Amino acid sequence: MDSFADRTKRRLRDELLDAAQDAIETGGYDGLRMAEVARRTGVSRQTVYNEFGDKWGVLEAVAARETERFLLDVNAALAEQSDPIDGLRAAVERALTLAGENQLVKAALGQPGSDQASQLLTTRGQQVLELAHLRLDAHVREHWPEVPAEDATSCVDVALRVVISHIVTPGPPPAVVAAQLARVLSPFLAESRRLHV
Amino acid sequence: MDSFADRTKRRLRDELLDAAQDAIETGGYDGLRMAEVARRTGVSRQTVYNEFGDKWGVLEAVAARETERFLLDVNAALAEQSDPIDGLRAAVERALTLAGENQLVKAALGQPGSDQASQLLTTRGQQVLELAHLRLDAHVREHWPEVPAEDATSCVDVALRVVISHIVTPGPPPAVVAAQLARVLSPFLAESRRLHV
DNA sequence: ACGCGATGTCCGAGCACTTGACATCCGGAG
DNA sequence: CTCCGGATGTCAAGTGCTCGGACATCGCGT
């Protein structure tokens, strides 16, 4: 079930992603060289193609891994609050703050238009969005027992899209956006809880 | 030069040695099972044979790795003293103390006669002895510039064999043995230094 | 005497990585 | 404009290592 070969396979993928992420953070998607990723990892170029299919696959994989890490942090912030509204505000603020510091996000949004990596959060954003939704939804259903599942999903859906929008197109500081969003969604959650059996 | 495959190979060997060493420390050489080492590492039994040849090869490899680690510590003790005699005493004491605490040594010498691992330090002790000699000799020549190389080698030779003897057949406490050995070899080193150009 | 477990050997199949070659595309230099 | 270097992506053959199973052998306890 967890043979040495399995661990080696995971390690290979992880090291390839390390090399790729480093390259992207330095020179963006355009600066990412398949041959360079292979060389840095000590593997042939073909192996990179076997693992990720094509260059876009590499970017998606890097984004997916970073998204998972990102959400671990955000979910932790959400879990620290007992009240849903407080949790939502904390999570939003944490997410926007992290995004502002994130090297990968900076690289993706660095030179608008010139770097196609930005499409990860815009026109080709399904992957990241679905992944984030999946993780947040599961976490929220676990921590908000008093909120009906369907309404929790709606809440996550709205908040997530607003947050991504603020990442792509920065507005006010994280705390302000978080407070605003919490205030807007507060009545919805209150009513949802009130009607809940 | 340092491909992913190379690193994986080293890691495999290291994990196999971890599993083997653990087994030996628990049940001695007789309690070491090739199939168990393979299972614990998540690899086929054949792979263990490919790596080490046979069961005795596993034991030698475990001993070699442990000897290297052991000598790193002993050499450090030796390097902390500027005077050769002080260094020798410190190294001997450190070696005997470490040996007394070492799980692998305990397992090897645990049940006299019944466990063939003891041969590593007695009848089949060339490997460990040569390895130790190699490391100590190189270290000593570097740290004892005032002692002729040949005499340094002789000194290491004698001290090493005495120490191993004391590990196999324990006598007085480490500090006592170290002092005794230092006093016996002191005149030799003094004269050697005096005659040195 | 027998069975059991362990060591050690052999070999065929499979898998992943490597190597080299090739088609294609693009941007810059001449 | 043309050509060339560099990059992506594809393909096929070669290679090394591991796996799985079968087998012989040996020692040991029942």
User: Measured from the CB, is B32 under 7 Å from any atom of strand C?
Assistant: yes
* CB within 8 Å of B70: residues ≥ 6 apart: B95, B98, B99, B102
Write out pLDDT tens, residues A161-191. 999 999 999 899 999 999 999 999 999 999 9
Nearest nt (C1') to B58 (CA)? C7
Q: What is the DSSP string of B3-35?
A: -HHHHHHHHHHHHHHHHHHHHHHHHTTTT--HH
Write out pLDDT tens, residues A87-119. 999 999 999 999 999 999 988 887 654 577 778
Closest residue in A to B2 (Cα) is A42
Give me the pLDDT at residue A125, please: 85
Counting the structural domains of chain A, the total is 1
Closest residue in B to A12 (Cα) is B4
Identify the residue whose Cα has the smallest distance to the C1' of C20: A46
Are A42 and B15 in contact (CB < 8 Å)? no
pLDDT, mean over chain A: 92
Residues of the domain holding B36: 4-195
Interatomic CA–C1' length for residue A64 and nucleotide D16, angstroms: 33
- What is the rounded distance in angstroms from the CA atom of residue A131 to the CA atom of residue A120? 12
* Residue A197 DSSP symbol: -
Write out pLDDT tens, residues B147-157. 999 999 999 99
- What is the rounded distance in angstroms from the CA atom of residue B13 to the CA atom of residue A187? 61
- What is the rounded distance in angstroms from the CA atom of residue B173 to the CA atom of residue B97? 9
Distances (CA, A) of B135 to B74, B139, B144, B166: 10, 6, 14, 20
Q: How confident is the model at residue B197 (pLDDT cuts 50, 70, 90)?
A: low
Give me the pLDDT at residue A110, please: 73
pTM across the whole model: 0.87
Chain B residues within an 8 Å CB radius of A2: 42
- What is the rounded distance in angstroms from the CA atom of residue A100 to the CA atom of residue B151? 66
Q: By a Cβ cutoff of 8 Å, what residues of chain A touch chain B? A: 2-8, 11-12, 15, 41-43
pLDDT of B112 higher than 60: no
- Quick one: which of B74, B69, B65 has its CA closest to B21? B65
pLDDT, mean over chain B: 92
Cβ(A186)–Cβ(A88) under 8 Å? Answer: no
Q: How many CA atoms lie within 13 A of B77 on its CB side?
A: 19
Give me the pLDDT at residue B185, please: 94
* CB within 8 Å of B27: residues ≥ 6 apart: B107
* Residue A3 DSSP symbol: -
> Which stretch of DSSP H or E encloses residue A72?
helix A55-79
CA dihedral B46, B51, B53, B59 (to 10 degrees): -110
Write out pLDDT tens, residues A4-55. 999 999 999 999 999 999 999 998 899 999 999 999 999 999 999 999 999 9
- What is the rounded distance in angstroms from the CA atom of residue A120 to the CA atom of residue A152? 25
Measured in whole angstroms, how far is the alpha carbon of residue B59 from the centre of its chain? Answer: 13
Return the CATH number at A24: 1.10.357.10
Cβ(A116)–Cβ(A29) under 8 Å? Answer: yes
Nearest nt (C1') to B56 (CA)? C7
SS3 helix, strand, coil % of chain A, rounded to 5? 80, 0, 20
- What is the rounded distance in angstroms from the CA atom of residue B50 to the CA atom of residue B62? 16
Q: How confident is the model at residue A78 (pLDDT cuts 50, 70, 90)?
A: very high
- Quick one: which of A54, A70, A53, A58 has its CA closest to A18? A58
- What is the rounded distance in angstroms from the CA atom of residue A2 to the CA atom of residue B129? 38
Which range is least confidently modeled, A150-154, B111-115, B173-177? B111-115
Interatomic CA–C1' length for residue A134 and nucleotide D3, angstroms: 52
